[in-house]
Structure 1
Amino acid sequence: MNPLASPTPPMPALLALADGTWHRGHSCGAPGTAFGEIVFNTSMAGYQEIATDPSYAGQVVCLTYPQQGNYGISPEASEAARPALSALVVADACRTPSHWRSRETLPSYLARHGVVAVEGVDTRAVTLAVRGGGAMAAGVSTEVLDPDELVALVRAQPPIAERDLVAAVSCDAPWTETPAAGCGRSVAAVDCGQKAGIVAGLAARGLTVHTLPWDATAADVLALGADGAFLSNGPGDPASVPGVVACARGLLGRVPAFGICLGHQVMALAAGARTVKLAYGHHGGNEPVMNLLTRTCEVTAQNHNYAVDFPSFGPLVPGESGGRTSHEADLRCWAERGVAPVALSPEVGRVRLTHVNLNDGTCEGVEYLDRRAFSLQYHPEGRPGPLDGAYGFDAFCALMAGDPDYLVHAVQGRCA
């Protein structure tokens, strides 16, 4: 190679949003064109975990931290066998990573898995557009480089809620994770896009994890004779998976149950509540959440665009809600009062609000007091992110063991 020869110029790429804005950059992944709903993630690390999180299926992910890929790609960090996101947007993709576990660069990894990605974009401007206009359709292309043409193609895309995303990221057949040191209990997990870190978190507590595909019925779950049932995270609108909602409805009250993220939402739908779409969702590793039971604040890892509407469970029970009889839309009022309110659901009985997002006052966790079940909107396993909520796995173990104060004891480290 002639050392004086000019390097091969980078392949141009274009990002276009449904609001008509667009950004030129160059490719740092596979050639092609990809569409999805654009969201931004504020995590300062964990690009590999984000890229392989099945909950990002159907989404164009903009990472706000300036440089991505600086510590490379390692097999240990993946949350699934391959990336699930539609496309990736970054300011700068490092091609000279430094880490002893690194096996390849982020651009080569994305290219190998056919993920279209663009760098050289002002991710601050993209983030402001999403914060101002809400989550919207977007497209990234190395083929369509005319802004007007790509914007038109973006606007022609069907809404993400109309896409069957869960089926594409669930496992194809049942499988089992056996811990090195078991506790004698097992869990049946319904995989709607289950992260590897969640299975690891359950197995680390000595639980044998029997994972079933997303279309498993309540009868399928109960037939395993497990000590508890788990409903996993996953992509898209919870209302788009009525079968999973029906499964959750058949499990509530039959077996101790725990749900995370999408699992939290489908459990609420099964209990007769509603879910609402957030303006631009929660995506990152720094969301503050108040635990109403312990009055502690947790810094949490989150990835979702929908939230449970707590007032839709039913009327408040004044005697268990600090004497209050009226719901309020902003749930931060309960953090200020130091009360974990209880609503009365016609379908499942008493439902207690346990966790509240301190940024926007949305529901982050509930406890089904008459059904031996609870759920969390955020990710207790982190990956990437903090581990403030890791006690959620301990709480599940304590619930299966019959501890009536399982959530409080888990936080206090008093679970057996």
Structure 2
Amino acid sequence: MKRQLILEDGSYYTGTAFGSLRESTGEVVFTTGMAGYQETLSDPSYCDQIITFTYPLIGNYGINQEDFESIEPAAAGVIVSEVALKPSHWQYTSTLDELLKVKDIPGVYDIDTRALTRKIRIHGTLKGKICPLEVDRKQIVQQLSEQRLPADQVKKVSTSSPYTLPGRGKRVVLVDFGAKRGILRELIERGCDVTVVPYDVSADEILRLNPDGVMLSNGPGDPTDVPGAVEMLKEILGKIPVFGICLGHQLLGLACGAKTTKMKFGHRGVNHPVKHLETGKVMITSQNHGYTVDTDGFENLDLDITHIAINDETIEGYRHKVHPAFSVQFHPEASPGPTDSNELFDEFLTMMSNAKNEGVSTCQSV
């Protein structure tokens, strides 16, 4: 069955349907990873986005039960050049097509993904709709031009209530803005006692848990759409060590007085080079974000830049000059991607130990 992707600028791309046959609207983005499509698809940070995979063949090793980053993928759609309908891998339990059908996510293949990616790189991310060929394209373009992108993605993907993953090590509160399972895995492997809390948790609720540290997870959308989290961070900063990842990095920046801006087409993929300024070391990182902490006025803040992106020199990491807090824009847990920056979780544990020895935390048990 033929289907099409219509963009808000009036262009359209015709291909073949797979997955769900429902119509779907979202922000069209591209990711440059050559593998890890299952982790990408199940990353909550892709909530309400139509994912274009630049690698030409997707689905060749199928879907397994080990590599999900969330139980319910929140992507709005999938665009690929070629989909493997008969995968080959000893772990696979279903095909990509079967997964998309079960999760009600539409897909289109036989699309010129190279041309689509070039358009996004030139014009920036665009709103798009996956729909049948019979629709009135002009009407769809008009609808897309008038439609506002949703601002509640974090609410959609965050846990609705707290839960605990017991451990005998450091007590960590993970604020779930759309956390990938890989973050939990890294904390658990280090023996942490993890309490996962919703995105709208208050500072008082966190303090009552008396944690050794707070981790801010990745998540979708514009960080300014989560003002409550910014206010919460202002209250706990200096009282508890904080480590932010991706959206958490942006929210911590806002709490420290920085600004954030929407990028032209963002960083999405598992091959983004990042330089650690102190050591000069370049690491290859996994990334998925459409917003960045702005460099404008950054020099006036109590923050030191620790990492920059090689490709465009955007801020990829910073550390607070006074309080035990640091963050990175990339994903040290990978999933998918290289584990070059995995040691940042160890730095977080060291920071928690040092803060406890220095009596930084003012939390009180209740």
Match of 2:326 among 367, 370, 374: 374
SS of the aligned residue for 2:290 comes to: strand
Match of 1:255 among 228, 240, 250: 240
Where does residue 363 of structure 2 map in the other structure? none
Where does residue 408 of structure 1 map in the other structure? none
C-alpha distance in structure 2 between counterparts of 1:353 and 1:250, whole Å: 22
Where does residue 228 of structure 1 map in the other structure? 213
Where does residue 108 of structure 2 map in the other structure? 118
Indicate the percent of aligned positions where both proteins have the same amino acid.
Answer: 41
Where does residue 161 of structure 2 map in the other structure? 173
Where does residue 80 of structure 2 map in the other structure? 90
C-alpha distance in structure 1 between counterparts of 2:147 and 2:106, whole Å: 17
Q: Is this contact kept in 2: 1:30–1:117, CA < 8 A? A: yes
By how many angstroms is 1:369 displaced?
2.0
Q: What TM-score, normalized by structure 1, do the two folds share? A: 0.83
C-alpha distance in structure 1 between counterparts of 2:225 and 2:324, whole Å: 26
Q: Give the count of matched residue pairs.
A: 356
SS of the aligned residue for 1:150 comes to: helix
Aligned-residue CA RMSD (Å): 1.4
Q: What TM-score, normalized by structure 2, do the two folds share? A: 0.94
Is the aligned partner of 1:20 residue 2:10?
yes
By how many angstroms is 1:82 displaced?
1.3
Q: Which amino acid aligns with 1:200?
A: R
1:287-322 CA deviation, whole Å, 9 max, x = no partner? 11000111100100000000001343343xxxxxxx
Larger radius of gyration: 1
Where does residue 264 of structure 2 map in the other structure? 279
SS of the aligned residue for 2:108 comes to: strand
Q: Is this contact kept in 2: 1:271–1:313, CA < 8 A? A: no
Q: Is this contact kept in 2: 1:116–1:141, CA < 8 A? A: no
Q: Report 1:124-273 matches (<5 A).
A: 124-142=114-132, 145-158=135-148, 160=149, 162-179=150-167, 182=168, 184-273=169-258
By how many angstroms is 1:132 displaced?
0.3
Is the aligned partner of 1:33 residue 2:23?
yes
Q: Which amino acid aligns with 2:272?
A: E
Q: Is this contact kept in 1: 2:244–2:328, CA < 8 A? A: yes
SS of the aligned residue for 2:66 comes to: helix
Please say which of residues 305-314 and 247-256 is displaced more in the overlay: 305-314
C-alpha distance in structure 2 between counterparts of 1:255 and 1:313, whole Å: 23
Where does residue 362 of structure 2 map in the other structure? none
Where does residue 306 of structure 2 map in the other structure? 354
Is the aligned partner of 1:70 residue 2:60?
yes
Which blocks of at least 5 consecutive residues in structure 2 are unaligned? Answer: 357-366
By how many angstroms is 1:148 displaced?
3.0
Q: Which amino acid aligns with 2:69?
A: E
Which blocks of at least 5 consecutive residues in structure 1 are unaligned? Answer: 1-10, 316-344, 405-416
Q: Is this contact kept in 1: 2:77–2:107, CA < 8 A? A: yes
SS of the aligned residue for 1:45 comes to: coil
C-alpha distance in structure 2 between counterparts of 1:273 and 1:153, whole Å: 35
C-alpha distance in structure 2 between counterparts of 1:92 and 1:82, whole Å: 24
Where does residue 402 of structure 1 map in the other structure? 354
SS of the aligned residue for 2:284 comes to: strand
Q: 1:120 to 1:79 in 2, by over 3 A?
A: same
1:91-116 CA deviation, whole Å, 9 max, x = no partner? 11111111111110001100111001
Is the aligned partner of 1:304 residue 2:304?
no
Q: Which amino acid aligns with 1:399?
A: M
Where does residue 409 of structure 1 map in the other structure? none
C-alpha distance in structure 2 between counterparts of 1:102 and 1:397, whole Å: 35
Q: Report 1:271-350 matches (<5 A).
A: 271-315=256-300, 345=301, 350=302
1:1-29 CA deviation, whole Å, 9 max, x = no partner? xxxxxxxxxx2111011121111011111
C-alpha distance in structure 1 between counterparts of 2:187 and 2:268, whole Å: 23
Higher relative contact order (CA 8 A, sep 6+): 2
C-alpha distance in structure 1 between counterparts of 2:106 and 2:132, whole Å: 8
Where does residue 43 of structure 1 map in the other structure? 33
1:201-252 CA deviation, whole Å, 9 max, x = no partner? 1111111110001110111111111100011110000000001111111121
By how many angstroms is 1:178 displaced?
2.6
Q: 1:144 to 1:290 in 2, by over 3 A?
A: farther
